[in-house]
Structure 1
Amino acid sequence: MAVSGFEGFEKRLELHFFGDDPAIFPLGLRKIDFESIQQVLEAVQCTVVSAVGNSYFDAYVLSESSLFVYPTKIIIKTCGTTQLLKSIDPMIHYAYNLGLTLCSCRYTRGSFIFPKSQPFPHTSFKDEVSYLEDTIPSNLSYRKASIMPSKSSSHSWHVFTANDGSHNHSHMPYDNDIFTIEICMTELDPILARKFFRRAGDGKTGDSAGKEMTELTGINEINPHALICDFAFDPCGYSMNGMDGDWYSTIHVTPEDGFSYASFECVASINDDIVHVLRKVVQIFRPGTMSISTTWNEYNHEIWTNMAKLVEPLGLKCRSCVMDQFISAGDVVFQTFTTRRKSIPCSTTKIKP
């Protein structure tokens, strides 16, 4: 095992289910009891540290990142050396017992800071894809794996999708005007990163210290309408989940010098004030490098060009931009930004099938 720091880059898994019995839909996967949730997480090697729910979904802050459970959808993000893909089998099992069948799967991640520290099946993207191919059911016959590169660094975006090819199910994750943004940031401003360290012997719980960090850093101002469930780790680190109706947001911070990392993810609409969101996120962390992965159901040239324009006044230049399409699973644009002076034109490169 390589000597390393904590791996901030998350692995992200999104599973969608459907069922023939309308009676299951009001709660669906939310009927899974907490003990079963814990068993799923035990396979991944993480635990629940805080939780909150509303009328649409349940949100769990984990010892390594987050879990969101909707009636027919689950999103789980885990960092460190967790074995995220080992959650698939138990989730399919519990869903099946509720009369739900898996109909789509999406797995994404960035490039690990400490790849040699990762256990199987996360030892390489090839190993991850092989594991996914062997684990997901055969009805998910439309499958694609893609590594979306950056022109300016070794950081790449890894995407695997599998689905049953149907556009008729209500599980489709993205309407044409709704998209998901995943932001990964490294080389955080050291002074700002210090705000995510706890004082020794502060006498606070993880929840109370988390609330203090949320207010101190301005995270509560990103979306003032969101219900926030936050947690501060000891001696450092921070996680939060936000709930705004049926939309979620989440932040995770690994603030240590040498391998500092922060992530922000949310669902947004083209009608939202994404300028405000991006500005606040960048101001809170002031990263030296940043990537934005945007996923939506129908490719929108204006969205990604606006992303580059919005970020530039914040001191970050777009270095590369690549787009790829996934059958019945949306289009993805992956952009990278740095604070370096030399700028590379941000023109979209489409990955060949």
Structure 2
Amino acid sequence: MFFEGSEKKAEVFVDPKQLSLLTDISDDFWAALVHCCNARILSSMHNRECKAFLLSESSLFVWADRFVILTCGETQLVKSLEYFIREIGTDKLVHLTYQRKNEYFSHAQPSCFGDDIKLLSHYVDGKALRFGEMDSHHNYVFHQDNAFKASPAHKTYELLAYQISPLASQKLTTPGLTAAQIREFLQLDRLLPGFTLDDFVFQPYGYSVNAIYKHNYLTIHITPQANSSYVSVESNLNLIERAPLILEILQPASFDLLSFNEFDFAQQTAQFIPDIYISKSLVKETLSNNYQVYFANYILPQNSFSRATQIDVAGDNHAL
């Protein structure tokens, strides 16, 4: 069974003098927005600073002046962005950033990054960049090109883990596994002390969790199948400092780190990333919207030969 865990991501800022996304926008609006990309809301939670929606394909977080949405599978997140712009209007839009990373099964996607940014360009002027090499892990970033300048204090982090260990994959595909058991395996009490959690176990496999505390958020999405395992962690908490625990649990064969406005990226990765991983790709760029973006791909070198993967000639063609 194959599932595309790789996510598209968007962050949209609005003018808080004209609109509060927390108080002026109904949950029905967010449900309609999510529906536009072929996903649905499973559950939600909130505090005074943030609303968090758990989706059938990833997550949506809303603050008064902005929202962040991630969707996986074969969703078309760009359609949700188009809905938001049409309904809210470009006059209230302050800034938009759209990301998309390389996928396992890109041929199964209804659009590519180029298609997506052509659609967005009908509504906003923007610039696009690729972080990483085409023949390896890479991440595309499109951002609106206007007078917006990001605050240096606005930091976000992404840790994307590939080919988690056979032990982790076996644990996370155990029949009948409960949310409580997955929380314990991921040591979420250590990772997120004091946070409120909302999670969901998918059938037959898969797990998502949203976590919020005041304005802080963290979300984890797990596709545990051994042939295409992938775990994404996204947060405004420093994930570089938390990487040793995450990597100890998942033991991935490779992972990506992407940060916005973490100015000590090099020093922190040198301090916190285990020596067993080596850096294969390092990219640094300051965007015209004032975000300083770092991208790094790490691999766990193989010291012994592995076996070739047997392919079901009759049944696996859709994944080739």
TM-score by length of 2: 0.87
Task: Tell me if 1:304 matches 2:266.
Answer: yes
RMSD: 2.3
State how far apart, in whole Å, the 1-side matches of 2:155 and 2:266 are: 11
Alpha-carbon deviations, 1:254-303, whole Å to 9, x = none? 0001100001111136xxx953x11111122111010001111xx72x32
Shift of 1:89: 2.5
Of 77, 92, 101, which aligns to 1:101? 92
Distance change in 2, residues 1:329/1:81 (3 Å)? farther
Query: What is the aligned counterpart of 2:136 among 137, 146, 154?
Result: 154
Partner of 1:128: 116
Distance in 2 (alpha carbons) for counterparts of 1:145 and 1:131: 13
Which secondary structure state, in structure 2, belongs to the residue aligned with residue 268 of structure 1? coil
How many Å apart are 1:177 and its aligned residue?
Answer: 4.6
**1:216-295 pair list within 5 angstroms:** 216-268=185-237, 274-275=240-241, 277-295=242-260
Match for residue 192 of structure 1?
168
Q: Offset at 1:45?
A: 0.5
- Going from structure 1 to structure 2, the CA distance change for 1:108 and 1:166 (only over 3 Å counts) comes to closer
Runs of 5+ consecutive residues of structure 1 not aligned to the other structure: 203-208, 343-353
- Tell me, yes or no, if the aligned pair for 2:220 and 2:233 is still in contact at 8 Å: yes
* 8 Å contact kept, 1:29–1:73: no
Alignment correspondent of 1:320? 281
Q: Deviations over 1:109-132 (max 9, x none)?
A: 22011000000xx3x222122111
- Cα shift at 1:49: 1.2
Name the CA distance, whole Å, in 2 between partners of 1:101 and 1:223: 34
Q: C-alpha distance in 1, partners of 2:290/2:109?
A: 27
For residues 100 and 230 of structure 1, what CA distance do their matches in structure 2 show? 36
Matched, 1:166 2:148: yes
Within 2, Cα distance between the matches of 1:48 and 1:312? 37
Q: Deviations over 1:230-257 (max 9, x none)?
A: 1111111000111121011110000001
Q: Does 1:72 align with 2:65?
A: yes
- Is 1:180 the counterpart of 2:177? The answer is no
* Alignment partner, residue 308 of structure 2: none
Q: What TM-score, normalized to structure 1?
A: 0.79
- Partner of residue 350, structure 1: none
Are 1:60 and 2:36 matched, yes or no? no
Following the alignment from structure 1 to structure 2, what is the Cα–Cα distance between the partners of residues 285 and 334?
A: 20
**CA separation in 2, counterparts of 1:131 and 1:92?**
12
3-state SS of paired residue (2:155): strand
Over 3 Å counting, the alpha-carbon distance change for 1:103 and 1:236 in structure 2 is: same
Displacement of 1:93 in angstroms is 4.1
AA of the residue aligned to 2:212: M
Q: Distance in 2 between matches of 1:339 and 1:289?
A: 6
Q: In 2, are the aligned partners of 1:163 and 1:329 still within 8 Å (CA)?
A: no
Distance 1:86 1:317, change over 3 A: same
Structure 1 residues 197-243: Cα deviation after superposition (integer angstroms, max 9, x where no partner): 3525x7xxxxxx32331123313321212211111111110001111
State the alpha-carbon separation in 2 of the partners of residues 52 and 235 from structure 1: 25
Do the aligned partners of 1:66 and 1:78 also contact (CA within 8 Å) in 2? Answer: yes
Note the residue ranges of structure 2 that are not aligned, 5 or more in a row. Answer: 304-320
Three-state SS of the structure 2 residue aligned to 1:312 is coil
Identity, in percent, stands at 25
Residues 253 and 299 in structure 2, CA contact (< 8 A), matched pair in contact too: yes
Q: What corresponds to 1:87 in structure 2?
A: 80
Conservation of the 8 A alpha-carbon contact between 1:252 and 1:264: yes
Residue of structure 2 equivalent to 1:205: none
